[in-house]
Amino acid sequence: MVEQMDLPKISYYNEISLMMFGFGDSHTPNPDTVRLVESIVLKQLRIIIHEASKYSDGKKLKGEELVFLLRHNKHKMRRFVRYLMNKQSKYIFQKINLYPADLNTKPLPKSDLMEFIEKIDETGEFTDLSEIDEVKHERQLRADRISQALNEKKYLEFCKARCASFNSRDTTHRSSEKLRLWIDPKGEIIKEYKQDALDILAYFAYQTVADITDYALLVRMDRKSCTSDPLKHLPGSYYTATMFNGEHQFTGSNPDYSKVHSSQPPISVSEIKEVMRRVHSPQAGLLNFGGKVPETHYLFAL
């Protein structure tokens, strides 16, 4: 009798290492930290799939079911809408040389996901992109400060890291298949994944790495700005204003993020664990009007 071969070990260690560098970590992230972040991302993606499967037939996961989970956070839904619009623009630019006449005579088609978002957008706030995305703007400011402190060689490496994602540059079936095998190697959660669902899961994974890196840098800043305030380290005192409510200060003094590359050590395992502790801990001063905090409140992508 032929023994069943084990599935090959799939890892996104290299991609996550590059992403963390691109989001503000050291040029050479701590290997143990990268592995911990990878395990957190994988666990959260699997939870997201379980949540989305509640709205599916349990056999095939579609993109709409994953997008539906974003309905409680208009800021993250808007960021996803911008992502869809950028994908559509890229597709159009690729077609300009092939079918230039069509672009002048036919209206630009909307993706199925964009049409679905417009259907569930009762108030129009999901597609209202007039507000600045403060989180993304903060990341861009950080990247700009870092890039100014790098030499030409390191700058090119930084640009490459900024392009890293959970989908390869040529988004092929192979890269999507790798993601599926990483998340659900034996099809135990969902039997079949549509291509748009895998694309969204790759997007969610990317945003999860970005948020974890953001918050780890906030943990580091919080420790360095320690004062004699006895309430400083209570959960909610600093992070209610920045980490959890998404309010980012633009008027105050901006930290020099470039030091992460030049003179500070890479993000440590303890800093990631502190992020997760604060995410899971009750927040001081949180007003939920007697309501129960949803079980998925700690999922970074949602």
pLDDT tens series, the chain, 302 aa: 333 444 458 899 999 999 999 999 988 899 999 999 999 999 999 999 999 999 888 788 999 999 999 998 899 999 999 999 888 777 676 665 555 555 555 556 678 899 999 999 988 899 998 888 888 888 888 888 888 888 898 899 999 999 999 986 544 456 788 999 999 988 888 888 999 999 999 999 999 999 999 999 888 887 766 554 444 444 333 333 333 333 333 344 555 554 555 567 899 999 999 999 888 875 544 444 445 555 666 899 98
Q: Which two tokens stand for residue 16?
A: 């996550």
- Residue 5 resides in a domain: no
How far CA 292 is from CA of 9, 212, 244, 254, in Å, comes to 39, 24, 16, 35
- Domain presence at residue 248: yes
- What total of structural domains would you count in the chain? 1
Residues comprising the chain, all counted: 302
Q: What are phi and psi of 98, to 5 degrees?
A: -85, -45
Say what the pLDDT of residue 262 is. 56
- Provide the pLDDT for residue 9: 82
Within-domain flag for 300? no
Q: Is 81 domain-assigned?
A: yes
Q: Where do runs of H (alpha helix) occur along the chain? A: 13-23, 31-52, 63-68, 74-95, 100-105, 112-120, 134-148, 152-162, 173-183, 195-224, 259-262, 269-280
Both tokens of residue 144? Answer: 């700009």
pLDDT at position 177 is 87
> What CA–CA distance (Å, rounded) separates 232 from 284?
12
Asked if residue 302 belongs to a domain, the reply is: no
pLDDT value of position 156:
92
**Contact status, residue 126 vs residue 77, Cβ threshold 8 Å:** yes
pLDDT of residue 89: 76
Q: Rounded distance, CA 7 to CA 17, Å?
A: 24
Give the integer Cα–Cα distance in Å for 49 and 31: 27
Per-residue confidence (pLDDT) for residue 40, from 0 to 100: 96
Question: Would you say residue 236 lies in a domain?
Answer: yes
Whether 236 and 284 have beta carbons less than 8 Å apart is answered as yes
- Tell me whether residue 4 is in a domain: no
Q: For position 145, what pLDDT does the model report? A: 85
pLDDT recorded at residue 228: 46
Question: What range does the domain containing 231 cover?
Answer: 13-280
pLDDT of residue 2: 35
- Are 266 and 25 spatial neighbours (Cβ–Cβ below 8 Å)? yes
Residue 99's pLDDT is what?
54
Distance CA 301, CA 290 (A): 25
Which residues does residue 234 pair with via DSSP β-bridges, in sequence order? none
